[in-house]
Each structure stands twice: as C-alpha cells, then as structure tokens.
Copies of this chain bind each other. A is one copy, B any other.
Amino acid sequence: MTPSSLARGGLDLGGTKIQAVVTGRAAKVVGHARRDTPRRGGAEAVVRDLAITIREAAADAGLRLSELGGVGVGVPGEIDMGEGTVTQVANIEEWEKEYPLAAELSNALGGLPVSLGNDVTVAVEAERRYGAGRGLRSFLGVFWGTGVGGGLVVDGRLLRGRGSAGEIGHVCVKSGGRRCACGLRGCLEAYAGRAALEQRARREARRRKTVLFDLMRQRGRDRLTSGIWLRALDAGDAVARDLLDDAVAALGVGIGSAVTLLDVEAVIVGGGLGERLGPSWLKRIEKAARPHTFFHTRPVYRLAELGDMGGAIGASLLVPARRGA
C-alpha cells in the first residue's frame, strides 16, 4: 500500500486477546494479526505482546513498522490521554497500577508515536464513522462481551462526559442485587457480562447438567468463549439458555432505561456475545427493552458492523491524520 503515510496501526487490548490492524484510507483494513493476551507478567508482558502483534499486522500489510503514521491502542480502562498513561485497567491479569503505556510501547516500537483511548470509546467511534452508526445523529452502542461496555453518540458526536460517559454496564438493573466486579451492586454487567455468566455457570454446573464445560474442554479453552455459549445453545443446553435469558432481561432493563433517558435513534449491539448470537438475540434484546422504554421513543436495533476488528479499527483512528491522509 502506498503512500505509506496513510497507514495507521490499531491495537485492541482485550481481556482475552490482542487484535492488531493496519488501516489505510477510510479505515480499510490492509493487514491484521491477533494473539492471546498474556496471563502473566502484567503490563511489561502486555507491551511486549502488543509490539509483536502490531509488527505482525504491519508485515501482513507488506509494510515496515516505520511506514506507519503511528499506532493507537484501545485499552479496557481509564486513560490519561495527556500523559499517555493507563490509570486503571480492567480484566488484564497481574496489571495493577498506573502505567505509562504510550511511552513504553513507543519505545518498544522504535519511537513510533503511540496514542491511547478507551477500548469501547474507540469501537463506538469506529461504528459511528464506518459501521452501523453511519448517518445516525444519535445512538447507544452496547458491547456485550466479557463485560458490557457502552458508548453514546448524540448530535452526531461521541459523548465523553468528563471522560467516562457511556458506562451502561454499570447502570443499576436490580437495586441491592448481585455484586459486580466494579464494587457496586446490581450492575447490568453483573448479570450479562460473559465473566459474570461464567461464574454463574460454574455454580449451576454443580446441580444441573450442562454441556458448557465439556465444550470448553473439547475446544481446548479454559474460559467460556462466546462461541462456546452459542454451541451450547445449539445443543439445547438449558443452563446456557436460562443464563442468557437472564442476561437479556438485564440488558432490556439497562438499555430501555438508557433509551428513555436519551431518546436515541438507534441501539447498536456488538461485542463477542452480541456478534456470535446475532440477529435473533438482537430481537430478544429489543423485545426485553420495550417494557422499559418510555412510549415516546422507539429506536431501531442494529448489530455492529465492523465485527471483532472494530475495536482495533477504532484504535487506528486515534493516530492523528497526516498530510495526504
């Protein structure tokens, strides 16, 4: 791809995997790579693997790293954009304190400029510009995966609040309810996030038959991935079905309340579970939200379009545009 000044690197750092892309004009993916997020070694190990993955993506695009205009990273946590530090991180093991990720990764990439953003925020921005949000003045993005992330577009722009707007995963769906990993009780994420679902599945498995963990072992995994949930449903597994039904009910309360409050044109559902479960479950979510949606407002429900590279594509948009880009 030439001119190389258009090429940008994007990294999506997830709790399970690292996804890297190199994007060209109009955020078109011209190279990609992925690997598992390291389980040990904390931030230093993550930096090493982020660097490896983006190098592989550049190679896949037929480019040298130095030909990229820079690299953006979507991080599951809190960012100090000015400092380029990660002040708080979720779902990455052995990474506990504030860390100068931009500087360290730039160092590992021979001085290439590195920009940081919140993983969900960049994914919403990617959907707004190049995905299911194109042409919409307002939408609520819901990323249903390990956790439940969210982002808000109003008046055609991403709403940032004071930095953390859109946290629909921590909207209360049951007052005094289940404890969430964030410390609050009754959060949507505590009912619908894949991590919370897996915890509940482990408890259920002690007293009910389920194929969930058999499928996990057969596929050589040690977590219940979105694909495993889908296979369990296809096999008629009642535990999987009941837990996902509960998750959908919780999504309905949280999304319905958010729509009531924001009167957005659309709800866009993505994330690992959102994508794998697809249109029929999107319909269920819409149906579950209706009894909690004020009568004035009837948004359309859409699946996210950019798939599991959406976060990395969005991260690449963090790289400042260059002349000719």
Once bound together, how far apart are the Cα atoms of A168 and B182, in whole Å? 24
Once bound together, how far apart are the Cα atoms of A165 and B253, in whole Å? 17
- With beta carbons under 8 angstroms apart, the residue of B167, B175, B262 that contacts A173 is B175
Once bound together, how far apart are the Cα atoms of A178 and B52, in whole Å? 55
Q: Is the CB of B258 within 8 A of A183?
A: no
- Within 8 Å CB of A172, what residues of B? 173, 253, 256-257, 260, 292
A264 proximal to B (CB < 8 A): yes
* Stretch in A30-38, A56-64, A155-163 touching the partner: A155-163
Report whether over half of chain A's contact residues are helix, strand or loop; otherwise say mixed. loop
A138-B161, A172-B256, A297-B162 given as contacts; is B292 within 8 A of A184 (CB)?
yes
A154 proximal to B (CB < 8 A): yes
A150 proximal to B (CB < 8 A): yes
A276 proximal to B (CB < 8 A): no
Q: Is the CB of B162 within 8 A of A294?
A: no
- With beta carbons under 8 angstroms apart, the residue of B165, B174, B175, B296 that contacts A263 is B165
- With beta carbons under 8 angstroms apart, the residue of B164, B175, B262, B291 that contacts A296 is B164
A265 proximal to B (CB < 8 A): yes
- Within 8 Å CB of A264, what residues of B? 161-162
A195 proximal to B (CB < 8 A): no
Q: Is the CB of B265 within 8 A of A167?
A: no
Q: Is the CB of A295 within 8 A of B161?
A: no
CB under 8 Å from chain B, chain A span 65-81: 78
A249 proximal to B (CB < 8 A): yes
- Within 8 Å CB of A182, what residues of B? 294-295
- Within 8 Å CB of A291, what residues of B? 184-185
Q: Is the CB of A166 within 8 A of B292?
A: no
**What total of chain A residues lie within 8 Å of the partner, measured CB to CB?**
46
Once bound together, how far apart are the Cα atoms of A293 and B249, in whole Å? 21
A154-B159, A175-B253, A253-B172 given as contacts; is B261 within 8 A of A294 (CB)?
no
**Chain A 80-120 near chain B by CB (<8 Å), digits 1 or 0:** 00000000000000000000000000000000000000000
A171 proximal to B (CB < 8 A): yes
- With beta carbons under 8 angstroms apart, the residue of B150, B164, B170, B297 that contacts A164 is B297
A312 proximal to B (CB < 8 A): no
Query: What are the nearest 6 A-B pairs in CB distance?
Result: A161-B263, A164-B296, A165-B263, A170-B294, A171-B257, A172-B292
Q: List 28 A-B contacts (CB under 8 A).
A: A78-B296, A152-B261, A154-B159, A161-B263, A161-B264, A162-B264, A162-B265, A162-B297, A164-B263, A164-B294, A164-B296, A164-B297, A165-B261, A166-B261, A167-B263, A167-B296, A170-B294, A172-B173, A172-B260, A175-B249, A183-B295, A184-B291, A184-B292, A184-B293, A184-B294, A184-B295, A257-B257, A261-B261
Q: A166-B263, A184-B291 are known contacts; what are 8 more A-B pairs with Cβ within 8 Å?
A: A159-B262, A162-B265, A165-B262, A167-B261, A167-B294, A173-B175, A183-B295, A258-B261
